[in-house]
Structure 1
Amino acid sequence: MGLREDLERFREVGEERREDLKEFISYGDLGASGAKDIKIPIKVVNLPEFKYDRLDMGGVGQGQGGTPDVGQPVGPPQPAPGEGDEGEPGEEGAEHEYYEMDPEQFAEALDEELGLELEPKGKEVIEEVEGDFTDITRVGPHSTLDFERLFKEGLKRKLAMDFDEEFVREAMKVEGTTPEQVYHWCRDQHILVSLTWIDDEWTRIPKDELDKWASFEEMEQNVERTTTVQRIRRDGLKEIPFRREDERYRHPEIIEKKQSNVVVVNIRDVSGSMRETKRELVERTFTPLDWYLTGKYDHAEFVYIAHDAEAWEVERDEFFGIRSGGGTRISSAYELAAEILEERYPWRDWNRYVFAAGDSENSSNDTKERVIPKMEQIEANLHAYVETQPGGTAINATHAEEVERSLGDEDNVVVAYVSTPDDVIEAIYQILSTEATAE
């Protein structure tokens, strides 16, 4: 393998090797990605190149003008004459800094990375939408009248009722016949004509023609009977017998479209004790979960609640950066979450996830007396609390332990502990595994 092939192989490897997914979640730059476009850095692979050595200054072959200085790269090998044309190997491709994923691809990759095969749990919302105008009703606006159908029905009736009038008139000229005899003869010939029509036409036949034929057989031998198609081709369609019962109106088909909806409520403690390292651990845990659920569900919405002693709803862009100097009352966030879910995301229509994170510090008795009862009250596919306490749990940080002690046996409650970025993947796995088994 020559130098040129080595160079191309290095480039190929560099583009294929995006940063490991676990490493990206734990240590990568999550802020470069948006809600629906995940940008994972590609590991850089240095390309081989020649450089001038100081010991080789002067000497044969060191030309003037355009010659690189000592230590400056010579550059990639140049193609021989005739090489590199028409997109042949040797041309430089564009440089890539990120490997881009959408949330669905991210969810698939994370499932594979963690060895999971999760499908959305909970209900499927049936949404009725109007489709094409394929349904037919007997009433409706005149503008939706199905004229083509009306014409076809009238034409079918025309063909069914049509008969050769001249042929029947000739039958009336058989000697000694009566209208009733002609009528029964028509029936035997499968000619659909009414007795009333025969009576009316009988009065119009000249008396000197009433004995023109000695019998019906003689008439049939001398008079050619034409078919309906022959008459239409000869005379055209003079009229179509439309009837009101033939009218149909086009109506849009109602399609039941199943859609899996999810709302994720992210709650974060922004009190004075939540310093930068703790905030970063929350972001590293919540952001991949948001991407994952967006990729799993047909429609995902997110609610972001920040709290100290009080709680308020915020936008995603400011959720991870807020810091206040107040105390902590976690129940305020769950009270606000309950109001929002009840008002905007009813349990009958939405799959619900309530994720909270903080350093487990809370005001006295708030967890036991208010938070836990509120978590039991809020119907959700999954409740998760993530304790972010670098260096281990503090003495007064008992919220996570209390929740785990009281609700740890519930199928839809999970508590995870994140002390360092290395714990993030395990916490995500723990949360998603709980969702996999919850009903």
Structure 2
Amino acid sequence: MGLKDDLERFREVGEQRREDLADFIQYGDLSGGGRSDIQIPVKIVSLPEFEYDQRDKGGVGQGEDGTPQPGQPVGQPQPQPGDGDGEDGEPGEEGGDHEYYEMDPEEFAEELDEELGLDLDPKGKKVIEEKEGPFTDMTRTGPDSTLDFERMFKEGLKRKLTMDFDEEFLRELCKVEGIEPREVFEWARGENLPVSMAWVEEAYGDVSDERGKWDSIEEVEENVERETVQQKIRREGIKQVPFRREDERYRHPEIIEEKEKNVVVVNIRDVSGSMREKKRELVERTFTPLDWYLQGKYDNAEFVYIAHDADAWEVERDDFFGIRSGGGTKISSAYELADQLLEEYPWSDWNRYVFAAGDSENSSNDTEERVIPMMEKIPANLHAYVETQPSGNAINATHAEELERHFGTDADDVAVAYVNSKEDVTDAIYEILSTEGEADE
């Protein structure tokens, strides 16, 4: 077994023993690792090992210079330096290192898709390369090596099947006593044979010396076997298939645009005085897996973090979840700043997600008069708002409800989720990501 096999086996064991993904999102420590690597605790399994029995038992041995003689009891072993957990054999107080299963965002996204039943298909926007694909396009001209002979043959064969007929049988009809060319022509048309009147008149003249061979058309039908076009082709071969210049088509490579899947995620958080520790934790527990997921889904992911109370300002990720101010709340200030920052990420080249979270408290009329118009103005794959109210809804916490009333619950680019406890986190993540999935479909 080589190193590659060992690594694969380690991955299998890690997947089996790591903490359940949903439990990790709801209750685990999400601060471990960074944005590019996720550390999920592994359930440690104690391996069997030999242990010295401390009970006083006799034994026999042989030896000299103080070693036990036959029949002499063996005494207790003397403590050795380092045998104790701490100094002087006292129990140690330092805990051991925890074991983690490291997962990159791409693997995290795959696991979350499986865990929650998601299937987000990221869209590429920015064209980074044009290349020749398979020869699926057709042109009327081209080198002989690209001639689609199969298509040309089919066109010629279809023409023969629709235009050919049993000429010998019609010539026999022209030999019927007293028959006229018009009668032969009408009989052929009744049989859906693609024959012209000119052809019948010419054939009628060619067999004038044999006229009277048959007494009626019925006699010809009883005594002359008709040949189908398919039988005629088998007899004559493909040399008789009528190929024409207009049947020629030349295979041409399809031009494929290779598009880069870029995404910018704007995370907005209310940091006003009402956003206490439990609410902040629920925001972090919801937003962090969303960041990991989208980073794993896209080729290039950028993140913008905006904190706001009555005013809004851009912050670093490390500060985003810990900031708290004592001011009031004006959610529209964050959307106005987001609109400015997104100018660096054109909608034509970037997928956009705008995620906001808070306790739904907002300044009077701000949601209706300013936030909703801003959400409608900013083009994005998805706008989402997460309400966190661990102790239940406050009287003036109406922002989420106002969004639902305006956009409805079936909007394909706006999601509203409620997180009142850790148990609600995975449901909220599913609500958000499945809404964007419906929009993709």
TM-score, L = length of structure 2: 0.59
The question of whether the paired residues in 2 share the 8 Å contact of 1:52 and 1:71 is answered with no
**Alignment match, 2:232:** none
Q: State the 4+ residue runs in structure 1 displaced beyond 6 angstroms.
A: 12-15, 67-72
Paired amino acid for 1:33: G
Give the match's secondary structure for 1:291: helix
The one of 104, 107, 115 aligned to 1:105: 107
The question of whether the paired residues in 2 share the 8 Å contact of 1:51 and 1:70 is answered with no
Paired amino acid for 2:76: G
**Alignment match, 2:267:** 266
1:66 positional shift = 4.9
**Alignment match, 1:412:** 413
The question of whether the paired residues in 2 share the 8 Å contact of 1:40 and 1:99 is answered with yes
Distance 2:391 2:58 in 1: 62
Paired amino acid for 2:326: G
Paired amino acid for 2:319: E
1:69 positional shift = 12
CA shift in 2, pair 1:266/1:67, >3 Å: same
Paired amino acid for 2:103: M
Does residue 67 of structure 2 align to residue 65 of structure 1?
A: no
Give the match's secondary structure for 1:435: helix
* 1:74-104 C-alpha deviation (Å, 9 max, x unpaired): xxxxxxxxxxxxxxxxxxxxx9711111111
**Alignment match, 1:178:** none
* 1:371-412 C-alpha deviation (Å, 9 max, x unpaired): 111111111100000001103222221111111111124210
The question of whether the paired residues in 1 share the 8 Å contact of 2:56 and 2:76 is answered with no
Distance 2:81 2:316 in 1: 53
CA shift in 2, pair 1:68/1:306, >3 Å: same
Q: CA RMSD in A?
A: 2.9
1:330 positional shift = 0.4
Distance 1:110 1:28 in 2: 15
The question of whether the paired residues in 2 share the 8 Å contact of 1:53 and 1:71 is answered with no
Paired amino acid for 1:103: P
TM-score, L = length of structure 1: 0.59
The question of whether the paired residues in 1 share the 8 Å contact of 2:14 and 2:101 is answered with no
The question of whether the paired residues in 2 share the 8 Å contact of 1:267 and 1:356 is answered with yes
1:48 positional shift = 4.0
Structural mapping, 1:148-159, within 5 Å: none
**Alignment match, 2:366:** 366
Distance 2:52 2:359 in 1: 56
Paired amino acid for 2:360: S
Give the match's secondary structure for 2:31: helix
1:115 positional shift = 1.6
Structural mapping, 1:25-104, within 5 Å: 25-49=25-49, 56-57=55-56, 59-60=58-59, 61-66=74-79, 97-104=99-106
Structural mapping, 1:280-319, within 5 Å: 280-319=281-320
1:27 positional shift = 1.0
* 1:81-139 C-alpha deviation (Å, 9 max, x unpaired): xxxxxxxxxxxxxx971111111111001101112222114x52102599xxxxxxxxx
Structural mapping, 1:354-393, within 5 Å: 354-393=354-393
Distance 1:47 1:272 in 2: 50
What are structure 1's unaligned runs of at least 5 residues?
A: 1-11, 73-94, 131-254
**Alignment match, 1:142:** none
* 1:158-215 C-alpha deviation (Å, 9 max, x unpaired): xxxxxxxxxxxxxxxxxxxxxxxxxxxxxxxxxxxxxxxxxxxxxxxxxxxxxxxxxx
CA shift in 2, pair 1:68/1:424, >3 Å: same
Distance 1:59 1:397 in 2: 77
1:333 positional shift = 0.3
The question of whether the paired residues in 2 share the 8 Å contact of 1:14 and 1:45 is answered with no
Does residue 324 of structure 2 align to residue 323 of structure 1?
A: yes
* 1:2-50 C-alpha deviation (Å, 9 max, x unpaired): xxxxxxxxxx968840111111111111111201111111112233456
Identity %: 72
Bigger mean CA deviation after superposition, 324-333 or 57-66? 57-66
The one of 114, 117, 120 aligned to 1:115: 117
Distance 2:420 2:381 in 1: 26
CA shift in 2, pair 1:71/1:301, >3 Å: closer
Distance 2:387 2:30 in 1: 20
Paired amino acid for 2:420: S
Paired amino acid for 2:32: A
Give the match's secondary structure for 1:373: helix
* Aligned pairs, number: 281
**Alignment match, 1:335:** 336
Give the match's secondary structure for 1:23: helix
* 1:349-386 C-alpha deviation (Å, 9 max, x unpaired): 11110000001111111111111111111111000000
* 1:270-312 C-alpha deviation (Å, 9 max, x unpaired): 0111111111110110011111011111111111000000000
Distance 1:413 1:62 in 2: 77
What are structure 2's unaligned runs of at least 5 residues?
A: 1-11, 60-73, 86-96, 132-255
Give the match's secondary structure for 1:438: helix
CA shift in 2, pair 1:70/1:261, >3 Å: closer
CA shift in 2, pair 1:261/1:44, >3 Å: same
* 1:251-270 C-alpha deviation (Å, 9 max, x unpaired): xxxx9642011111000000
1:347 positional shift = 1.1
Give the match's secondary structure for 2:264: strand
Paired amino acid for 2:429: I
The question of whether the paired residues in 2 share the 8 Å contact of 1:354 and 1:382 is answered with yes
